[in-house]
Structure 1
Amino acid sequence: MTIQPSKLCVEITKKVQIDYLISHPEGYADLNCEWGLIIFLHGMDMRGEDISQLSNYGLLEIMNEGELSLPFIVVVPQCPYESYWNMERDAVTALIDEVVADHRVDRKRIYLIGYSMGGYGVWDLAIHHPKKFAAIVPLSSGGQISKAEQLQNTSIWAFHGAKDNIVPVEHMTNMINAIEQHQGRARLTIYPDQGHDIMRAALSNQELYSWLLEQKS
């Protein structure tokens, strides 16, 4: 696994610079292969301008420890200070388009994973771009119940801690219930003895990545 720091400058209504890390899987040198793409959105405390702090955080931390060898390109952008992922929605979609254009990405296998603030960002991006993602994995978060119908054709596996005192578990269960009311495909894992920080438990689950590989848009 190699992790490379990169930057993307996006000009929409304002000039936004999104720094990101990108990791290529073993075997990426094979020019005949295309790979699934995972975009991982971090939580609030990782915002800023120091992209290096994300190199051993969340999904990349678990990969660095050798617990997982994932057959995906993994991209980890950094949200600017005093901003949120929904505010940087256009920048993230521009980043995805750049990665797809410059790397050997299977366009039918683009996935979103996010924790806490990043989980809210996952819900928001998928609601606004429901056809862009083969599956989403929100952790410790909730979504816009009034827009749940937009996700009726999106594969979802959500994770939450029952003892979360930052984002109550009801925020997640209410969103999942709303999606199911629109005949959506939503799967929910609740950790009965855990609180808000469930990243390691959820992201160390090899079954999650096997499930992702089964999802295509």
Structure 2
Amino acid sequence: MSCWEVLEELQPHLGNVPRKERWQEIAKRMEADGKSLHEVTYTWNEGELSLEVGLGAGDKRLVPGTSRIHLVKNGELYPYAVFYPQGYDAQEPGRKWPLIFFFHGIGERGDDPAILLREGLPYELAQGRGVDALVIAPQCPANSHWADQEDELIKLRRFLPAMIEKYPVDPDRIYITGLSMGGRCAWKVALDMPDTFAAMVVACGRTSESDLGAIRDMPLWMFHGVNDSTTSFDNINAILPRLQASQHRHYKLSVYPQVGHNVWGEAYTHMGVFDWLLTQRRSRNREFAAGRKNVLPTDAKKKPV
């Protein structure tokens, strides 16, 4: 298949991307031609679609720098891990830092925050890498669930503001991300506290919420593996129409035809994810939302006869 043929095959139809079976068919046809379809990223920006296709694994740029890790086992409400970026000094007058809240998957539940270092963004940071932001990762109790237990949302409504108050945080640059169960949690918390976050990144996380209008001005990047047998890839085509119906202003989807559930290995080592995330601002979201309100419907602009 030529690159042009690939692009034609991957175009959304009625707003949805190809289904799992179609992705697998395209990948096999490319393999027969000696090519590997590694990653496809769709970007919808104010209704305009662009498409990037990665043939072969390509280069990864792991997050730069180094992080210091502090594990808080007896924290209020949750054990948690906090990652301090390079150059962080809590006593530096007037310095405010971006903050990323990370929510882990089901395998990292418990009461020992060291377990959080096994997967996802905490794993990458624990390898001595870094990101130019504070990262706070709470730990869900072993007998609970981030998304299915309403008690956790009630506690998170207290935990997140407490962390924002405790650390020198720039309120314009607070972000949320999660994988699998934690991806579901990211959706749930963002919809519950939409004015808190500047942007969201979700790896293999689904949402059953039918109305996504509360976050339609919050930039979003989703990652999903076609061969995911835990959170089916078909969940993506359940989410995209709801984003479109809400007139969501800026959302991205990266698809990995050769990857299963552990797509977070791609998401948190992606060449552009943190550059993209840390350029987002809550104030910009508010400005865009205010602009929507100032645009009157066509009929309302007509002068009375």
- 2:130 pairs, out of 60, 69, 72, with 69
Give the aligned partner of residue 113 of structure 2: 51
Give the Å deviation of 1:122: 0.5
Counterpart pick for 1:18 among 69, 73, 78: 78
Measured in 1, the distance between the counterparts of 2:238 and 2:99 equals 28
Residue matched to 1:83: 144
TM-aligned CA deviation for residue 149 of structure 1: 1.8
Structure 1 equivalent of residue 277 of structure 2: 212
Identify the residue that residue 8 of structure 1 maps to in structure 2.
75
* Cα distance change on mapping 1:69 and 1:206 into 2, 3 Å: farther
Give yes or no for contact 1:176–1:188 (8 Å, CA) kept in 2: no
C-alpha change, 1:108 and 1:141, in structure 2 (3 Å) is: same
Secondary structure of 1:146's counterpart equals coil
Is 2:69–2:126's contact at 8 Å kept on the other side of the alignment? no
Whether 1:189 aligns to 2:251 is no
1:35 is aligned to: 97
SS in 1 for 2:229: coil
Q: Identify if the C-alpha distance between structure 1 residues 8 and 147 changes in structure 2 by more than 3 Å, giving closer, same or farther.
A: farther
**Which residue identity is paired with 1:147?**
D
Which aligned runs of 4 or more in structure 1 are off by greater than 3 angstroms?
none
Cα distance per residue 1:140-160 (max 9 Å; x no partner)? 121124122222111100100
Q: State how many pairs are aligned.
A: 209
Matching residue within 85, 102, 115 for 2:179: 115
Give 1:33 shift.
2.2
Q: Deviation at 1:173?
A: 3.0
Match of 1:60?
Answer: 122
The TM-score, its normalising length taken from structure 2, stands at 0.65
Q: CA deviation at 1:167?
A: 1.0
Q: Is the 8 A contact 1:38 1:112 kept in 2?
A: yes
1: CA distance, partners of 2:211 / 2:143: 25
Cα distance between partner residues in 2 of 1:113 and 1:196: 16
In 1, the alpha carbon distance for the partners of 2:198 and 2:237 equals: 21
Decide which of 193, 201, 212 is 2:266's aligned counterpart. Answer: 201
Aligned-partner Cα distance in 2 for 1:209–1:8: 27
Structure richer in strand, relative to its length = 1
Give the Cα–Cα distance (whole angstroms) in 2 for the partners of residues 201 and 165 of structure 1.
Answer: 17
Distance (Å, rounded) in 2 between the aligned partners of 1:202 and 1:43: 14
Kindly provide the amino acid, as one letter, of the partner of residue 167 in structure 2.
H
Q: Which moved more, 1:54-63 or 1:37-46?
A: 54-63
Instruction: Output the aligned Cα RMSD.
Output: 1.5
Residue by residue, what CA displacement relative to the aligned partner does 1:121-164 show, whole Å, maximum 9, x if unpaired?
00111111111111111111211241222221111001000111
Unmatched tracts of structure 2, length 5 or more: 1-66, 283-305
- Retained in 1: the 8 A contact 2:97–2:169? yes
Structure 1 SS opposite 2:144: coil
Q: Is the Cα–Cα contact under 8 Å of residues 152 and 183 in structure 1 kept in the other structure?
A: yes
Counterparts of 1:114 and 1:164 in 2: how far apart (Å)? 16
Q: How far did 1:177 drift? A: 2.6
Percentage identity across aligned positions? 29
